[in-house]
Structure 1
Amino acid sequence: MRILLTGGTGYIGSAVLDELVGAGHEVVAVVRSERAARAVEARGATAAIGEATDAAWLEPLLADVDGAVHTAAPAADAAAFDAAIANAVVEVFGGTARRYVHTGGIWAYGAGEALDDDGRPDAPELVAWRLPIEERLLESSVSATIIAPGVVYGDDRGLVQLVTEAPRDADDRILLIGDGEQHWTWVHVGDLARLYRRALEHEHALGRVIGSDGSPTTVRAVAEAVVAAGGASGVVAEGADASRARLGAEFADALLLDQRASGAKARSLGWVPEHEDVLAELAGRSRRSARAAREDSAA
């Protein structure tokens, strides 16, 4: 298929680009600069340089593809950006069989011990803007799937660094976000990219699909893995109010959500995560660091 992709130089989008190209799809990557164009072309995509929120520019590109994946996440005005993409997709893909995969997020579901992919979202203030856009897509005649990634990790990137690189106290203990007992639902970026491809290639629209490796893990457990690897002397609860003061209230409230999802709907599509869980990833990172240190000392 010929696929239009936004966010092809980003954390999730670059993994999706590699997955699609590796599966034999022709990818047209929307970028805003020559530098970004060179980056996506080096990964096997065709670059389209322009402004994705310009309907007069984007809609002809959409008309010339078999499907589209939206992973771009601008630093500012994300609501307006996503709304503009959705408007263009509804205009061009509405009433057709062309697949559209839109990026949502796990936080939109709110807290829960068994989050249901098709359950009613209960978004905190930080991401409440997502819901009207998603509902418009789902209620339209677009063949749309909304992937809601868990907390994405892998390739030494992602929000896991809010824990692994968190400030330490005077005793070199990691400051936990809140008390650290909240579970985060996780997914490796490589596994997530494969889920996007499965959704894109599926014969039907899938509604909302949570990207979860099925191993929700507490913030405290992640921090303790850093301690076990020798990266800190211990952990200590910061408290919710202190976390809000440090990180900003809206962001902290999202990070304080206790969220557990199995990823059952994704697995019903035949998707099976290849990466065990975030703790195994951290253990592997520790082994790689130790090996590198030994090689440096022996050089």
Structure 2
Amino acid sequence: MRVFVTGASGFVGSAIVQQLLQAGHQVLGLVRSDKGAEAVTNLGAEPYRGDLDDLESLQKGAAQCDAVIHTAFNHDFSRYKDNCDNDYQVILAMGKALAGTNKPLVVTSGVGLLHADRLLTENDKPASSSAIPRAASEEAAIAVAEQGVNSYIVRLPIVHGPNDHGFIPIVIGITKDKGISAYIGEGNNTWSGVHRLDAAVVYRLIVEQQPAQKAFHAVAEAGIPFKQIATVIAKELQVPVTSKEGADAEAHFGWFKHFAAMGVPVSSELTRTTLGWKPVQPGMLEELVPGVYF
């Protein structure tokens, strides 16, 4: 199978490229720069120059392949809604190239879009993108499905692993800057997690099996209390750990307070049983050690 992967040189995308190649597939990887092209070539894949603003190039890339895995997203939070709206158009464009072919299109979303006072499953749906802009990606996947595209949704939790530039390094950076590790309130809000290599397997299994189930949770650990994360970080950095609330939490975490307080209990049972997925990589707390995050 020849697979078009967007974000092919990224943290998750590069793991997917490796996983596909190891399974004997060919990969055409979307890259924006010479550095990205070199990284994808070194993995053993074929680089494809383009970007998320060039919808025609995305259509052409998708049309050349037997499946599409979309992981690229502009994480510039200063224009977050615009980026979410753009992702909707990107998915529509690639979907147009696949309509009526039964070729799978796998779209990336996040478990953080879901909200309820219960364990959430793969069949739950986020609120409208008018309330949660990032939900536009899932809405686009549904829209292209109605146009005859074999589309799938993978919701990711906190993805961790070597060379991570996401949420965990942000928390570590704040802790270093403030000289104290903090959690909000009692710190019982939970982060779900998955190692990047385990997440990559979910994408591969979807394009290979193309099951009837359409939404998946690449979640290896359903709920790690944020207090535990803050405590391990404090130990490694040899700083105090404490609770923060209200204005103190705002002052400590700044714009990241929303994410530090985030708690989404999610199940991945359907994903595991449908795909036969068994995560095997180290857990989040196991990786908060020298040589990985420190």
TM-superposed deviation, 1:84: 2.5
TM-superposed deviation, 1:196: 1.0
Per the alignment, do residues 156 and 29 of structure 1 end up closer, same or farther by CA in structure 2, a change over 3 Å counting? closer
* Structure-2 separation of matches of 1:205 and 1:54: 31
Alignment of 1:273 with 2:279, yes or no, is yes
User: Deviation per CA, 1:176-235, whole angstroms, max 9, x where unpaired?
Assistant: 255522101111111001111111111335321111113410110111123344x23431
Residue 21 (structure 1) aligns with: 21
Alignment of 1:64 with 2:87, yes or no, is no
Residue 144 (structure 1) aligns with: 151
Per the alignment, do residues 49 and 131 of structure 1 end up closer, same or farther by CA in structure 2, a change over 3 Å counting? closer
Per the alignment, do residues 85 and 206 of structure 1 end up closer, same or farther by CA in structure 2, a change over 3 Å counting? farther
Q: Helix, strand or coil: the match of 1:221?
A: helix
* Structure-2 separation of matches of 1:214 and 1:61: 34
Q: How does 1:214-233 map to 2 (within 5 A)?
A: 214-229=221-236, 231-233=237-239
Residue type at the aligned position of 2:114 = Y
Residue 126 (structure 2) aligns with: 121
* Structure-1 separation of matches of 2:132 and 2:251: 16
Residue type at the aligned position of 1:101 = V
User: Deviation per CA, 1:230-280, whole angstroms, max 9, x where unpaired?
Assistant: x2343112225444455555x533442221123112211100010252122
* Structure-1 separation of matches of 2:282 and 2:66: 33
- Structure having the higher Rg: 1
Gaps of 5+ in 1: 293-299
User: Deviation per CA, 1:9-53, whole angstroms, max 9, x where unpaired?
Assistant: 111111111111111111101112222111111111111112343
Residue 239 (structure 1) aligns with: 245
Instruction: Say whether the 8 Å CA contact 1:185–1:214 is kept in structure 2.
Output: yes
Residue 185 (structure 1) aligns with: 192
* Structure-1 separation of matches of 2:73 and 2:250: 23
* Structure-2 separation of matches of 1:168 and 1:190: 28
* Structure-1 separation of matches of 2:260 and 2:133: 10
TM-superposed deviation, 1:132: 3.0
Instruction: Say whether the 8 Å CA contact 2:87–2:136 is kept in structure 1.
Output: no
Residue type at the aligned position of 1:141 = G
Per the alignment, do residues 21 and 235 of structure 1 end up closer, same or farther by CA in structure 2, a change over 3 Å counting? same
Alignment of 1:46 with 2:40, yes or no, is no
* Structure-2 separation of matches of 1:244 and 1:91: 44
Residue 95 (structure 1) aligns with: 100
Q: Helix, strand or coil: the match of 1:75?
A: coil
Q: Helix, strand or coil: the match of 2:221?
A: coil
Alignment of 1:207 with 2:220, yes or no, is no
Residue 81 (structure 1) aligns with: 86
Range that drifts further, 107-116 or 36-45: 107-116
TM-score (norm 1): 0.84
Backbone CA RMSD of aligned residues = 2.6
Instruction: Say whether the 8 Å CA contact 2:37–2:48 is kept in structure 1.
Output: yes
Instruction: Say whether the 8 Å CA contact 1:3–1:26 is kept in structure 2.
Output: yes
Give the fraction of aligned pairs with identical amino acids, expressed as a percent: 26
* Structure-2 separation of matches of 1:164 and 1:111: 28
Gaps of 5+ in 2: 77-81
Residue 30 (structure 2) aligns with: 30
* Structure-1 separation of matches of 2:67 and 2:264: 31
Q: Helix, strand or coil: the match of 1:160?
A: helix
Residue 79 (structure 2) aligns with: none
Range that drifts further, 155-164 or 14-23: 155-164
* Structure-1 separation of matches of 2:205 and 2:64: 21
